Chain A
Amino acid sequence: MAIRKLVAAGLTAATLLGTIGLAGCGSSSSDQEENPSSIKIWYYEENDSALGKAWSQAIDTFEKETGVKVEFEQKSFEQIRQNASQILNSDEAPDVMEYNKGNATAGLLASQGLLTNLDDYVSQYGWDKIITGTLADTGKYNDKGVMGSGSWYGITNYGEDCVMYYNKDMFDKYGIAIPTTLDELTDAMGKFVAAGVTPLSEGVAEYPLQHLWWQLVLMKADDDFIKAYEMYDGDVDWTSEPIEYATKTIKDWVDKGYISKDSTGLKAEDAGQNFINGTYPMFFSGSWWWSRFTSEMEGTNVTFSTFPDADKVVGSSGNIWVIPENSKKKDLAAKFINITLSQEVQDTMGNDGGLPIAADADKITNASDKEFIESFDNVLKNNMLGFYPDWPTSTFYDELNASLQELVNGTSSVDQVITELQDNYNKGVEDSGYKD
C-alpha cells in the first residue's frame, strides 16, 4: 500500500514538473540585454573548410569592431539536426547559429515560433539586395513553415549547385572530348562503354543518383512545375514530361551501361571515392566536393561544367544563419550576420574553394577556384537554381533513393517507379499539412 502511494506521489510530481516546464516554454519573453559583453555563436562546418575559415574570420572581425567577446562552439551536424528544437526552446540557445534550410528544418522551427523574424534587420542592412531570386526563397517561410514566401527567418551567405565533374586525363586517354551539349555527353558515355569503361560514378544508396534524376527533371521542367513540386503551389503532374523523361533516361542509361547496376548499394562517399581513384571518368554531384577533388586528386586534371544544355541546375542557397527567438542579444547577432556577408569574408570563402554569393571575382587568386565561382555566378545571374528533389516531405529523401534503387537494379519498371514516387510524395505532403 505504502509503495503504491509512493509511486502515485512520484507520478504526480513528475506530471507537475512537466506542466511547469511547458508553461515555461510559453512565457519566454525576449527582453533584450543592454550592452552585452559576449555573444554565443554556433556552426557545424569544419575549421579547415572554406566556410569554416571564412566564418572564423568573420568572428575575428566582429570582435574587433564591437569589442564584444564571441563564445564560439563548433557543433556537430547530428546534434543540431536531432535536437535543434529542444535546444532553441531552452536557455541554452545560442544567439546566432547556422541551420539547415528547408521546410522540415528551418521552416518547422519558424512556424513553431522558435526563430526570430528578421524582416526589420533585412531592411536595415539591405540584405535583400544581395540575396535575391532563388537564393532568397530558402530564407523566407510562411506561417506554415513553407519556404518561398512570407517573412525572412534565415540569411544565407553562400551557395551550392551540382555540376558534372570530369577526369580530363581519362578523357584524353581514350581520345574523348569533354562534352558541351547533352548529345555530346551521351556520345562520350557511349564511347567510354565501347572502350570497356563505365562512365558515370554513382551511389544510389544516398543522394548522388537522386540529384542526377532531379537534374534530368529540370531539363524539361518550367517554373510552374518547380513551384508546384517544391512549394505546393498547384498540383504536381506525375505523368508530365519532366518526370517521365528523367525516369526513362535513368533506366536507359543503366541499360546502356552508362551507370553500373552495382552502384545500388553505394553511398555518396563511395561514389566520390570511385571518381577520385579514377575508376569512373565522370561524377555528377555538388559543389561541396570541389575543394576535396582539388586537394585529393593532385596530379589529375579535373574539370567541371554545369550539366550540358541545362537551364536549371540542382542547387540552392547554402545553409542559413538564424537568430533563436530566445536570444537576448539579437542586434549583435544581426551585426554578425552582416559581417559574414561582407566583401572580405566572402572573398576569403571564395579563395578557399567555397561558393560565396557576394564576392569580388577579381579578388579570387586561384584560377580554378575563380572559374568555379564564375560558373556559379552565372547560375545565379540567370536564376538557374532548381532546388533539391527531397525537400517537399521529410521522408522523401529515403523514398526517392529506394525507388531509384529498384529502377537501377531492374526490380521495378519506369511506370512502377513513377507511381510509387507519386504515392509517397502525395502521402508525405498530406501528412505534413502544408496543403489545405
Chain B
Amino acid sequence: MSTAIVNSMDVPDVAGGVTGGGIALPEGNSTTPRKDAGYSMTPDEYKKIAHVKKNRTVGDWVIIALLILGGLIMLFPFIVLLLNAFKTTADYNSTGPLSWPSSLSFSGLETFWNRVNFPQKLWNSVWTSGLVALFAVILSMFNAFALGIGRVKGRRWIILLIMLANMLPQEALLYPLYTMFKAIGLYNNPWAIVIIFTVIQSAFGTYLLSSVLDTFPKSILEAATIDGASRWKIFKDIVFPISKPTLSVLMVFFFIWTWNEYMIPLAFLVDNSSQTIPIAVSSLSGDRLMDVTTTAAASLISILPTLVFYLIFQRTLSRGVTAGAVK
C-alpha cells in the first residue's frame, strides 16, 4: 500500500531534482551580474574582472562547494535511479540499491517498455501535456489581458476566485469533476484531462501574467490608443510580443506539471490505451510485491521526455526569467 504513495511522490521529486540541477549552475550565475553592470568600463577594469576569477576568496570557494553539494543532494534521487535502472534483479538482491551495477542490463527497461506499451503511453502524455500547455497559455494570455490591461473592476477578487482551482487540493475536486464529466459523457476520455488541466494551469498563468501586465507602462497603451490602435491590435502587436518570453516559461511549466499529474488522470482514464506515463509507472507496484529494478527503469524513462523538453526550452526559460530586468 505504501509503495503507491512513494510512487506517486517519485515523479515530482525527480522533477524537483531536475529543475534544481538547472539552478545549481555556479559558474554562469555567479559571473553574469558582474558582466551586466550598467556602466561602461575601461579595458583595465575589464582585466581586473577577468583576474577576479583567479583570485577567488575563501568565501567564494565555500559558496561554490556548498552549491555543488546542494546540486549533488538534489541529483541524489536521480543518481539512485540511474544506478538501479540498469541492474538485474539478482544483482539488486545481492548488493542493494546503492552499489554499482555489476553488469549493464536493459531487462528492466525492456519489461516496462513491452508491459505497458510505452510508445502509446508516451504519445498520450505528449498529446495531453502539449495541448494543455498550449491551451492554458492562450487562455492565461486572454484572461490576463482582460484583468491586467483591461483593469476590470474587482479584478483581485476574480483572480482569487480563479486561483481557487489551483489552491484547492485535487482530492476535493475529484468527485465533483467525476460527476460532471460523467454527465457530459467525457468520463474515460483524454479530453477530460485536457479540459481540467487547461483550467487548473491557466489559473496560475492568469494570476502570474495579470500581475505582470498590471505593471505595464500605461503611457505606451495611451500612445497606441491615440494612434488609433484597436484593442485587438494592442493585444496582438504590443502586449503579446512583450509577454512572449514569460509565455514560453509558462508553457514549459505547464507541460512539465501536466506531465507529472497522477491522481486526476488515474481517476479519469479508465482504458489502458488512453493512460499517461505516470499511471503506467504506478502499474508496476502490485498488492504485496514490487519489482524494484523495473520500477527504477520505468521512472527513469518516464522523466527523460520532460528533461529533453526542458533542455530544448532552457534558453527561452532563462530569457523569460530575465525579461523584466532588461527594460
Residues of A within 8 A of B (CB): 3, 7, 14, 17-18, 20-22, 24, 44-47, 73-79, 81-83, 86-87, 90, 92, 100, 205-207, 267-269, 272-273, 276-277, 286, 288-289, 292, 296, 319, 397-398
> Is A269 in contact with B289, judged by CB distance below 8 angstroms?
yes
Interface presence of B282 (CB below 8 A): yes
Counting from the closest, the 9 A-B pairs by CB-CB distance are: A76-B283, A21-B183, A21-B179, A92-B270, A17-B183, A92-B188, A276-B93, A78-B282, A277-B94
Q: Which of A86, A87, A206, A277 has the most CB of B within 10 A?
A: A86
- Docked CA distance A45–B183 (Å): 32
> Which residues of B in the span 163-188 have a Cβ within 8 Å of any Cβ on A?
176, 178-180, 182-184, 187-188
> Is B287 in contact with A77, judged by CB distance below 8 angstroms?
yes
> Is A78 in contact with B179, judged by CB distance below 8 angstroms?
no
How many A-B contacts are there with CB distance less than 8 Å?
A: 99
Q: Of B3, B267, B271, B290, which is within 8 A of A86 by CB? A: B267
Q: Which of A77, A82, A100, A207 has the most CB of B within 10 A?
A: A77
Q: A277: which B residues are within 8 A, CB to CB?
A: 93-94
Closest to A18 in B: B179
Encode contact with A along B180-202: 1 for CB under 8 Å, 0 otherwise.
10111001100000000000000
26 contacts between A and B (CB under 8 A): A14-B176, A17-B180, A18-B179, A18-B183, A21-B180, A22-B179, A76-B284, A76-B285, A77-B285, A78-B266, A78-B282, A78-B283, A79-B282, A83-B267, A92-B187, A100-B287, A206-B1, A268-B288, A268-B289, A269-B290, A273-B92, A273-B96, A296-B89, A319-B287, A397-B1, A398-B1
Q: A92: which B residues are within 8 A, CB to CB?
A: 187-188, 270-271
- Docked CA distance A246–B228 (Å): 86
Interface presence of B272 (CB below 8 A): yes
Interface presence of B69 (CB below 8 A): no
Q: B290: which A residues are within 8 A, CB to CB?
A: 269
> Is B183 in contact with A288, judged by CB distance below 8 angstroms?
no
Interface presence of B4 (CB below 8 A): yes
Interface presence of B66 (CB below 8 A): no
Q: B188: which A residues are within 8 A, CB to CB?
A: 90, 92
Encode contact with A along B269-307: 1 for CB under 8 Å, 0 otherwise.
011100000010011111111101000000000000000
Known contacts A18-B179, A24-B182, A277-B94, A75 near B288 by CB under 8 Å:
no
Q: B283: which A residues are within 8 A, CB to CB?
A: 75-79
> Is A269 in contact with B183, judged by CB distance below 8 angstroms?
no
> Is A90 in contact with B187, judged by CB distance below 8 angstroms?
yes
Q: A90: which B residues are within 8 A, CB to CB?
A: 182, 187-188, 270
> Is A76 in contact with B282, judged by CB distance below 8 angstroms?
yes
> Is B292 in contact with A269, judged by CB distance below 8 angstroms?
yes
- Docked CA distance A16–B66 (Å): 57
Q: Of A14, A75, A207, A268, which is within 8 A of B272 by CB? A: A75
Q: Which of B4, B180, B288 has the most CB of A within 10 A?
A: B288
> Is B271 in contact with A73, judged by CB distance below 8 angstroms?
yes
Closest to A205 in B: B2
Distance between A103 CB and nearest chain B CB, rounded to angstroms:
16
Closest to B154 in A: A3
Distance between B276 CB and nearest chain A CB, rounded to angstroms:
12
Q: B289: which A residues are within 8 A, CB to CB?
A: 268-269, 272, 288-289, 292
Distance between A281 CB and nearest chain B CB, rounded to angstroms:
16
> Is A79 in contact with B266, judged by CB distance below 8 angstroms?
yes
Residues of B within 8 A of A (CB): 1-4, 7, 89-90, 92-94, 96, 115, 152, 154, 158, 161, 176, 178-180, 182-184, 187-188, 266-267, 270-272, 279, 282-290, 292
> Is A17 in contact with B184, judged by CB distance below 8 angstroms?
yes
Known contacts A3-B152, A82-B267, A288 near B279 by CB under 8 Å:
no
Distance between B179 CB and nearest chain A CB, rounded to angstroms:
4
Distance between B88 CB and nearest chain A CB, rounded to angstroms:
10
Distance between A5 CB and nearest chain B CB, rounded to angstroms:
13
Closest to B174 in A: A86
Q: B96: which A residues are within 8 A, CB to CB?
A: 273
Distance between A86 CB and nearest chain B CB, rounded to angstroms:
6
Q: Of B2, B158, B286, which is within 8 A of A44 by CB? A: B286
Closest to B281 in A: A76
- Contacts A17-B179, A76-B285, A83-B270 given; 11 further ones with Cβ under 8 A? A74-B272, A76-B283, A76-B284, A77-B285, A78-B282, A79-B266, A79-B283, A267-B3, A269-B3, A269-B290, A269-B292
Q: B187: which A residues are within 8 A, CB to CB?
A: 90, 92
Distance between A128 CB and nearest chain B CB, rounded to angstroms:
26
Distance between A46 CB and nearest chain B CB, rounded to angstroms:
7
> Is A87 in contact with B270, judged by CB distance below 8 angstroms?
yes
Known contacts A83-B266, A90-B182, A207 near B288 by CB under 8 Å:
yes
Q: Of B1, B286, B292, which is within 8 A of A46 by CB? A: B286
- Docked CA distance A296–B94 (Å): 10
Closest to B94 in A: A277
> Is B270 in contact with A296, judged by CB distance below 8 angstroms?
no
Distance between B144 CB and nearest chain A CB, rounded to angstroms:
15
> Is A82 in contact with B266, judged by CB distance below 8 angstroms?
yes
Q: B287: which A residues are within 8 A, CB to CB?
A: 44, 77, 100, 319
- Docked CA distance A296–B92 (Å): 11
- Docked CA distance A86–B179 (Å): 9
Distance between B196 CB and nearest chain A CB, rounded to angstroms:
13
- Docked CA distance A296–B88 (Å): 11
Distance between B299 CB and nearest chain A CB, rounded to angstroms:
15
Q: B3: which A residues are within 8 A, CB to CB?
A: 267, 269
Closest to A24 in B: B183
> Is B4 in contact with A78, judged by CB distance below 8 angstroms?
yes
Q: B180: which A residues are within 8 A, CB to CB?
A: 14, 17-18, 21
Q: A47: which B residues are within 8 A, CB to CB?
A: 115
Q: A18: which B residues are within 8 A, CB to CB?
A: 176, 179-180, 183
- Docked CA distance A268–B90 (Å): 17
